[in-house]
């Protein structure tokens, strides 16, 4: 955990060793399930969702670990790789179920002519939700991330699929072959789909995350197990920092100062994410850290760096 002035600003080329990145910025990304510390009540909420075969709606501030919950559950219960559906204002239920490249198929038909095989399978693949609903020996784990970013109608559109656990692919329902092998989301596996119907055998474990930026219809909420991430405390943040970074005795005072400032700013109503705190601890502790005490008002090098990495999220 060191800080070095890699960039000087004089325009002179030089060989610079950038050092090791923070553990959470190593690529390919490392799974964080072993480092996640479930807050009080979350274990019970997960078990309720698993027992009732209901989605778990987790609400909390950015960086609170909402999306890490499903990684830990999937690892502990051996549910396989987590399927991910990241929501934007343009996300639709249809895209999450399956994708069909109609133009690609028309183009292939023209190239092959009348003698072509007209195989539809290469132009279809499951979306993340569709893959989660495919019959499997073990339920799949699906993350629906930031559902509050969706179009207003999407939560309501989800209701029927979440209740019935099935859907139809019309292009396959009217296709000449009863069985078509369709590629899964994020995999080369091609399970069979019969007569265009996808019906889950065991309902997937679904975690939906929300930053609390909007309200949802009551019909949607009653079909979910709901959990709100608690406001971070000094003690809980100490555990988070210790899980991600190795803090020695010499660094503990500086780390505690950063944590207390972070909690004070949260209490004052500022919007900050826990990963910002981890960034600050990584940069501002260690042998080559910026000089100066980290305080709320002193303009030391360390203070200026802290203002960069702990900048309030609701401001540009």
**What is the pLDDT confidence band of residue 245, given thresholds at 50, 70 and 90?**
confident
Cα torsion through 204, 210, 214, 218, rounded to 10: 30
Per-residue pLDDT at 88 exceeds 60? yes
pLDDT digits (tens, 9 = 90+) for 27-84: 887 766 677 889 999 999 999 999 999 999 999 987 788 889 999 999 999 999 999 9
At a CB cut-off of 8 Å and minimum separation 6, what does 227 contact?
41, 42, 45, 56, 57, 58, 59
Domain residues of the chain, as ranges?
Answer: 42-228, 231-309
pLDDT digits (tens, 9 = 90+) for 141-196: 999 999 999 999 999 999 999 999 999 999 999 999 999 999 999 999 999 999 99
For residue 130, give the 3-state DSSP assignment.
helix
For residue 168, give the 3-state DSSP assignment.
strand
**Residue 56, both tokens:** 């778990």
Rg (alpha carbons) of the chain, rounded to whole number: 24
Note the pTM of the prediction, 2 decimals: 0.86
**Of the candidates 45, 63, 42, the residue with the CA atom closest to the CA atom of residue 54:** 45
Residue 158: phi and psi, rounded to 5, are: -75, -20
Residue 35 C-alpha from the chain's centroid: 16
Residue 28 preceded by cis peptide, ω within 30: yes
For residue 104, give the 3-state DSSP assignment.
helix
Residue 61: phi and psi, rounded to 5, are: -70, 155
- The structural architecture, per CATH, of the domain 42-228 is 3-Layer(aba) Sandwich (3.40)
Mean pLDDT of 189-217: 95
């Amino acid at each position: 955990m060191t800080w070095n002035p890699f960039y000087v600003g004089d325009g002179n080329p030089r060989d610079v060793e950038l050092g090791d990145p923070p553990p959470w910025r190593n690529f390919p990304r490392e799974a964080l399930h072993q480092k996640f510390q479930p807050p009080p009540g979350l274990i019970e909420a997960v078990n309720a969702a698993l027992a009732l075969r209901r989605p778990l709606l987790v609400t909390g501030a950015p960086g609170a670990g909402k999306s890490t919950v499903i990684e830990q559950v999937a690892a502990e219960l051996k549910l396989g790789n987590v399927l991910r559906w990241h929501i934007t204002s343009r996300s639709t239920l249809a895209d999450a179920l399956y994708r069909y490249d109609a133009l690609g198929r028309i183009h292939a038909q023209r190239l092959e002519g009348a003698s072509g095989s007209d195989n539809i399978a290469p132009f279809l693949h499951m979306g993340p939700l569709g893959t989660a609903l495919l019959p499997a020996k073990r339920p799949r784990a699906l993350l629906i991330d930031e559902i509050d970013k969706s179009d207003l109608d999407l939560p309501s559109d989800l209701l029927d699929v979440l209740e019935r656990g099935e859907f139809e692919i019309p292009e396959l329902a009217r296709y000449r072959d009863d069985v078509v092998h369709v590629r899964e989301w994020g995999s080369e596996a091609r399970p069979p789909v019969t007569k265009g119907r996808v019906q889950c055998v065991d309902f997937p474990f679904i975690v939906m995350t929300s930053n609390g930026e909007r309200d949802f219809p009551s019909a949607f909420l009653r079909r979910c197990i709901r959990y709100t991430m608690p406001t971070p405390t000094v003690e809980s943040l100490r555990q988070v920092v210790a899980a991600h970074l190795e803090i020695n005795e010499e660094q503990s005072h500086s780390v505690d100062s950063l944590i207390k400032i972070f909690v004070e700013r949260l209490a004052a109503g500022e919007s900050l994410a826990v990963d910002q705190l981890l960034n600050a601890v990584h940069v501002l502790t260690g042998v080559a850290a910026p000089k100066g005490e980290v305080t709320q008002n002193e303009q030391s090098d360390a203070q200026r760096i802290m203002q960069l990495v702990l900048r309030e999220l609701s401001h540009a």
